[in-house]
Amino acid sequence: MRQVEDPLVLITGASAGIGRACALAFAAEGWSVAVGARRADRLETLRGELEAAGAPRVFHRVLDVTDRKSVAAFRNGLLETLGPPDCLVNNAGLARLVERLDEGEGEAWREMIETNLVGVLHMVRTFLPGMEERGRGHIVMIGSIAGRQAYAGGSVYCATKRALQSLCRALRLETLGKGIRVTSVDPGMVETEFSLVRFRGDETKASGVYEGFRPLEAEDVAACVLFAATRPPHVNLDEILVMPTAQADPWHLHREESMR
């Protein structure tokens, strides 16, 4: 159900994985779509795919959520062409390396904190005031099971995703009565470029993460995001935890020898 005619969704980190899948899912439902990411070539390709999928209007521009100037330039371009977004999907994020805290050098920590948390703060600070003025809007965070249950070697990544949970809950309180919806969609293991990024391009390590079981696909998570965004205006899905059937928590997976 739509709150407005020709609704507009803004998705960060949209050049691949969950972000791209979300963009295509919303386009197929007839939403106008604004997409931002750091890889310009992929955004250009995605633009054509979104138009073919059914998006009435498409805006694409390079976006680095950690850079306030980049966020401001994206906002200005979007407002000049399509107008303000009705739904903001904060998808841009990453994990970097698997390391113990007492062995970390700090470079990976800063990259994860700046992207996964500070980047989200930049985006919410930029677009939430307009939503409050209009008396409607939806902010969606792509969280993780890691924000609910931490695991060894992923302490900083887990901490950033845990912080998003607190941010969502605070936003629900701060925007109460203003027509704003806030949702956290927290997936388990999803086979995207996530592990390839984490292991700095090591394809062997990345593929090994998903051996022996069927993980979620990006489209599975996108379906959850779209479902939350298309509920009636009086319905807010605060949290969605979506897991592969073969995964119970960050540590317990059922791997089959026949799939290795």
Render pLDDT for 217-231 as a digit per residue (tens, 0 to 9).
999 999 999 999 999
> Is 120 contained in some domain?
yes
- Residue 1 in any domain: the answer is no
Spot the catalytic one: 109, 157, 194, 199. 157
What range does the domain containing 43 cover?
8-259
Our answer to whether residue 157 is catalytic in this structure is yes
Instruction: Please give the structure tokens belonging to residue 131.
Output: 């939503």
pLDDT of 2: 56
Mind listing the pLDDT tens digit for each residue in 6-21? 999 999 999 999 999 9
Say which CATH number the domain at 177 has.
3.40.50.720
In terms of DSSP H, where are the helices of the chain?
17-28, 40-53, 68-81, 107-112, 119-134, 155-174, 194-198, 203-208, 218-229
**Residue 191 placed within a domain:** yes
Q: List, for residues 125-153, the tens digit of each pLDDT value.
A: 999 999 999 999 999 999 999 999 999 99
Residue 2 lies in a domain: no
Domain annotation covers residue 3: no
Model confidence, pTM: 0.94
What is the count of structural domains for the chain?
1
